[in-house]
Structure 1
Amino acid sequence: MAERAHLYNPLTLAYLGDALLDLHVRTHVIMRLKAKPNTLHRATTFYVSAKSQAQTFDALVAESYFTEAEYDVLMRGRNAKSHTKAKNTDVLTYKKSTALEAVIGYLKLAGEDDRLQHLLERIVELCEEREPK
């Protein structure tokens, strides 16, 4: 199953990864804040913005978090030629966030559910470390 997941276009993996990260973060924020939707949306945006994802990308690479296969997907995601334009951010930030999302999508399609859950939890931890008090 992992071999087939590796064959997907990194932008397709990122498409799936974006949805998975968003769902994980929304669930986390709802459980943590128990607030109104507008407050929940603002909190979620802090975690899933391209800027935040790029910072998380840098932190995870610095701590050598990724396996060799995951790192390969990460680099393919970062180097993928996207035909959409980055909104509200620079190209490098957008590429790093796409790379992180690609790994998330890859882990899901590879059936690596435990590793995926660990990565999603680590992403939340890193965001919370950066969260303004």
Structure 2
Amino acid sequence: MDTLYQKEISPKGLSPLPLAFVGDGVYELLVREYLISQGNCPVRKLNSRKVELVRCQFQARALDRLWEGLTAEEREVALRGRNAHVGHVPKNAPVADYHGATGLEALFGYLYLAGELPRLRELFVQVMETSSETS
């Protein structure tokens, strides 16, 4: 298992929303690290770009672009996240996009907790590559 906390947690036993809770943090940390790797720039610009990349609309599109390359297990996790009853959707977020983002976050949380960091990085790189193509 390769996680920061180093306590073994079985992601298979978790509901999709706790997976998305973890995945949200993992995704944001990856975005921040990615932005810093692009070179030194003012924090205001870093934050502005980060906000674009963590928006639910962006995350939902990212899941759509990744879909064909996901394994059956990864698709199942993402679907469980996308179909989870979230209870509250922010006013500025289309419901479908919010659910899609929850699916991506659940997938990232699952991969992180399963210790599948190489696969997590691979998918994140694909997300960032497609983001630079569409920006």
Tell me, yes or no, whether TM beats 0.5. yes
Q: Note the C-alpha offset of 1:87.
A: 4.0
Q: 5 Å matches for 1:7-86?
A: 7-61=13-67, 64-86=68-90
Q: Note the C-alpha offset of 1:117.
A: 1.1
Aligned length: 128
Unaligned ranges ≥5, structure 1? none
Distance (whole Å) between structure 2 residues aligned to residue 51 and residue 33 of structure 1: 26
Which of 103, 106, 124 in structure 2 is aligned with 1:102?
A: 106
Match of 1:100, SS?
A: helix
TM-score normalised by structure 1 residue count: 0.90
- Do residues 4 (structure 1) and 6 (structure 2) align? no
Which of 112, 125, 131 in structure 2 is aligned with 1:127?
A: 131
What is the aligned-residue RMSD (CA, Å)? 1.6
* 1:117 alignment counterpart: 121
Q: Note the C-alpha offset of 1:48.
A: 1.2
Q: Note the C-alpha offset of 1:30.
A: 1.6
TM-score normalised by structure 2 residue count: 0.88
**Greater fraction of residues in helix:** 1
8 Å CA contact retained: 1:33, 1:40: no
Distance (whole Å) between structure 2 residues aligned to residue 96 and residue 14 of structure 1: 11
